[in-house]
Amino acid sequence: MNTRNLIIIFLLIGIVGAGITGAWFIDSNPMVIFEGKADVVILSLIIMAGLTTVNLFLRWVRWHYIVRTMGIRLVTKESLVLYFATLPAIFTPLSVGELVRGLALTKRFQGSFSCLGWTWVLERMTDAAVLLLFWSLATATWAVSALLLVCYPLLVLIFAKSIGLSERGQSHYSHFTFISRVITASLLSWLLPILGLYTVLVLFGAGTGVSVAAQSFSQGVLLGGISGIPLGTGVSGSNSIFVLLDHGIVEPVAVAVVLILRIATAWYAVALGSVVFVCWRKYFYRLVRRTEDQQHFDDLAEGYTAQIPEHMREQFLSKKINTMDNYLRGSSRFSGNIKGLDLGCGQGWYASAMTGLGYEMKGADLSEQQVRLAKEYAAGKGQVIDFSQASAADIPFDDNQFDFIYSINALHHITDDALREKVFSEITRVLKPGGVFFLHEMNTENPLFNFYMSYVFPLINDIDEGTEVWIKPTRLPQVDGAAWQKDVVFFTFMPDFMPSALLKLFAPVERKLEQSRFNKYSAHYVAILEKMSNP
């Protein structure tokens, strides 16, 4: 079917929808309700649009999570733009137009269309189940509720196993975690417009319970979706109105409220997506056409220092340096001229600080620009440090050379398991027998911090892109010829955007948390890997 025919079909659908809406207007004259209530109408539209925005964000989080779990590690910012810029595609039968996202990524990810096709199936299946659950709870159809609560998780489990989901994504994949996160995101996202509809009904003086709003919204969306008509035009709104009428709400109010609902949900989503596409179309085209791997940290080098506030950088540096210094000085194995390697040295802040404490430091980083800036930083401190451009999988130093090595928030950028294994092999190779490797990483055991680092931080900063594979302190990788020490040091609870004054105010609280049994939920940790003396 060519573009001209599609346009004609959509115009006809629009005409039919406008005709049905016009018939409701003529029959009920809701303008009588609007008269003298401009403030209520505006407030209702703002509330509904705001809740719809959060609804769309949560649905993007769900989509991004499913796609990432299936093995497509799309940069978070690109994912957000791709999702929102293609929202107008929901104005297609059964929202099949959303499959365009898979087509958009075919140049960059092998099998993306198949992957996003299965994602679309799972989304539609989940939306239908969640909306049907809300409808059954609202209408006290307990048999349907019980059936959904028992059968739907099993259905998703069968779905996940049938497409080999655990083999597509991360090696430490959990079906239970996957199912619970998808369902939770779906429940939260669809609860918002229901609460919005209830709020609008209250604002218009229609005293009904939340259950009426839940039945009206879920029944309208479900039947509109089943009809196959784009956005359920003429079906969703009519069914929502019928439910409100059945619960004693006068027709003009029911029509007025549902009109606001439809404008601020379905049509707002299409309009928002259109705006995003127009405003970010150049970025959208670049992400669709991009096929090569870009050197992220070379591009970021000049603006790297602006990513995290200086007082937070200083705190992170102080805590990490002190942890390593206390360990090295407290061990009888290390004495005299202690040699260290900063692996993934960035701009040299940590290597310079360790040099200032008397350690003989070298540094290595894959990014040429970061190495250049590290050399300049050390020179500004009056220090001479050997910084090299090199891959962590091919460390350019002899065997058994360093007493200690450390990596500061670098290894989570290695997303390939085999490559990461090679990196650890290289680390143990260049360590002296009895030498140690300090692994400094983000602690994503805390689910809130995990969400922040995967979905929020990459949107407001450029250091991490949302494609990282976090190394959790409870699942440290096995390393031949070396063993992880039992004790892991956990530290930092204050967010990276905490103002300096508040950071000082809450410092005593943070110290107590770091020493408490809740320290495992901190933001950072350091684990220590010791090379065996006789491997």
Which tens digit of pLDDT belongs to each residue from 112-123?
888 899 999 999
d(CA 374, CA 173): 37
Contacts of 487 (CB under 8 A, 6+ apart): 528
d(CA 65, CA 98): 16
With a cut of 50, say whether residue 131 has pLDDT above it: yes
Q: What is the pLDDT of residue 179?
A: 87
Residue 529 in contact with residue 484, Cβ under 8 Å? yes
Q: How many CB atoms lie within 10 A of CB 498?
A: 18
- Per DSSP, the three-state class of 339 is strand
Question: Which pLDDT band, with edges at 50, 70 and 90, does 27 fall under?
Answer: low
d(CA 528, CA 326): 13
Residue 184 in contact with residue 201, Cβ under 8 Å? no
With a cut of 70, say whether residue 13 has pLDDT above it: no
Q: What is the pLDDT of residue 422?
A: 97
Phi, psi (5° rounding) for residue 469? -115, 110
With a cut of 50, say whether residue 171 has pLDDT above it: no
Residue 351 in contact with residue 345, Cβ under 8 Å? yes
Q: What is the pLDDT of residue 267?
A: 93
- The pTM assigned to this predicted structure is 0.86
Q: What is the pLDDT of residue 291?
A: 56
Q: What is the pLDDT of residue 168?
A: 55
Question: Going from the N-terminus, what domains does the chain have, and what CATH number goes with each?
Answer: 34-288 (no CATH), 299-531 (3.40.50.150)
d(CA 346, CA 375): 10
Q: What is the pLDDT of residue 332?
A: 85
Task: For residue 460, give both structure tokens.
Answer: 């407001």
Contacts of 145 (CB under 8 A, 6+ apart): 133, 136, 137
Average per-residue pLDDT for the chain: 87
Query: What mean pLDDT do residues 496-519 have?
Result: 90
Q: What is the pLDDT of residue 344?
A: 94
Query: What mean pLDDT do residues 431-457 have?
Result: 92
Query: What mean pLDDT do residues 355-365 have?
Result: 96
